Amino acid sequence: MTVANSLPQHEVAQAPEVRHGGLKQSRRPGRSLTLKRPEWLSESVWPFRTFGLEIDHATVAVTDVGQGPALLFVHTGVWSFIWRDVMNRLSSDFRCVCLDAPGTGRSSRLPGRAITLERSARAVTAVIETLALQDLTLVVHDLGGPAGMAGAAQAAERIRGIVAVNAFAWRPAGAFFRGMLALMGSAPMREFDVLTEFLTRITSTNFGIGKHMDQASRFAFRAGIDGDGRRAFHYYMRDALQCEWLYDDVKRALTGPFSRLPLMTIFGERNDPLGFQPQWKALFPDAPQIVVAKGNHFPMCDDPDLVADSIRGFYRERVATRA
């Protein structure tokens, strides 16, 4: 399956290395851009309008649907299709915003040196500021944990609550965790996946996002991850071992302004091998912890009704009462 020609291509200059106490400042986001709907993404499988924002000299795909209190969904690795079913259920009551991390989904393709969690975090900050999101609840998944937290920390005064969905937000520690990231971020694994699509195919099954998706939806999910998109996933995994300063930023946020916010975790019953839930509980002792029965790494796809109801209840009982 080849879909590269329907996805944005954009070369960028290598970012400078100078930092000043946090994320490097990106150039002020430019105009909103129209993104043509690709043939493989029918309205029946993606019923939302997606547009582009110019961020760091490239296009970041953003979806903004619904009205009400803002929810910002952040994932870094594959693309925003993973949020579809939950957004469908929440957009009647909330403004649901998601983005494809730089280099993934319908965002511009980038050279490997430009694909970092720092860049993903800057995209999060830019989306918050450009869309003027206020009083928002941050919903993060996987590497969207550190990237989303770091990006949101630059606009900490706008955040009112956090939902961590099979996510972490601290420096990887331990041989198993670091070894997994090293393996997934390695060049041999990256190029093997580009050649075989084995991770994309597994992720589109019941084990991943496909439990309640028909064949057309599974195909659309895979079509959004071309060869360069698969490379981007592995570059992000590689960077998760290298972005030490970003974890420092996240730690300052979690022990500073975010420590006073309500937080909820949602994990699949079968997918917390690294014990992230107890670590979240240690940071936020009052956090409700939702476990999706028989769920795996994408609990929002395993049981979208439960996840949507949990987010709605969390907002009503923990977030809105603090406004």
Place 322 in a pLDDT band, splitting at 50, 70 and 90.
confident
Mean pLDDT of the chain: 93
* Whole-angstrom distance, CA of residue 158 vs CA of residue 177: 32
Instruction: Supply the pTM of this predicted model.
Output: 0.93
pLDDT in tens, 220-233: 999 999 999 999 99
User: If DSSP codes are grouped into helix, strand and coil, which group holds residue 168?
Assistant: coil
Q: Give dist(CA 57, CA 30) in Å, integer.
A: 9
Enumerate the domain spans of the chain. 22-172+244-322
What whole-number percentage of the chain has pLDDT above 70? 91
pLDDT of 199-216, one tens digit each? Answer: 999 999 999 999 999 999
| 209 close to 81: Cβ distance less than 8 angstroms | yes
Homologous superfamily, domain 22-172+244-322: Alpha/Beta hydrolase fold, catalytic domain (3.40.50.1820)
Predicted pLDDT of residue 177: 98
Q: Which helix (H) or strand (E) holds 314?
A: helix 304-314
pLDDT at residue 285 greater than cutoff 80: yes
Is pLDDT at 9 greater than 70 in this prediction?
A: no
Mean pLDDT of 291-315: 98
Q: Which residue has the tokens 């918050």?
A: 128
- Least reliable range by pLDDT among 15-29, 32-46, 189-203: 15-29
What is the model's pLDDT at position 25? 60
The answer to whether residue 4 scores a pLDDT higher than 70 is: no
Q: Band of the pLDDT at 31, cuts 50, 70, 90?
A: confident
Neighbouring CB atoms inside 10 A of 52's CB total 21
| Cα–Cα distance for residue pair 120/104, rounded to 1 Å | 10
Q: What is the reported pLDDT for 14?
A: 35
Give pLDDT, residue 114.
97
pLDDT score of 28: 64
- How much is the average pLDDT of 161-171? 98
DSSP state letters, 6-57: GS-B---PPPP---SSSSPPPPPP--EEE-PPPTTS-TTT--S-EEEEEETT
The number of CA neighbours under 13 Å toward the Cβ of 240 is 30
With beta carbons less than 8 A apart as the criterion, state whether 283 and 149 touch.
Answer: no
pLDDT tier at 308, thresholds 50, 70, 90: very high
Asked whether 81 and 42 are in contact (CB, 8 A), the reply is no
Between 21 and 238, the higher pLDDT residue? 238
Reduce the DSSP state of residue 125 to 3 states and report it. Answer: helix
Residue 2 above 80 pLDDT?
no
Quote the CA–CA distance of 225 and 198 in Å, as a whole number: 12
Q: What is the pLDDT of residue 11?
A: 35
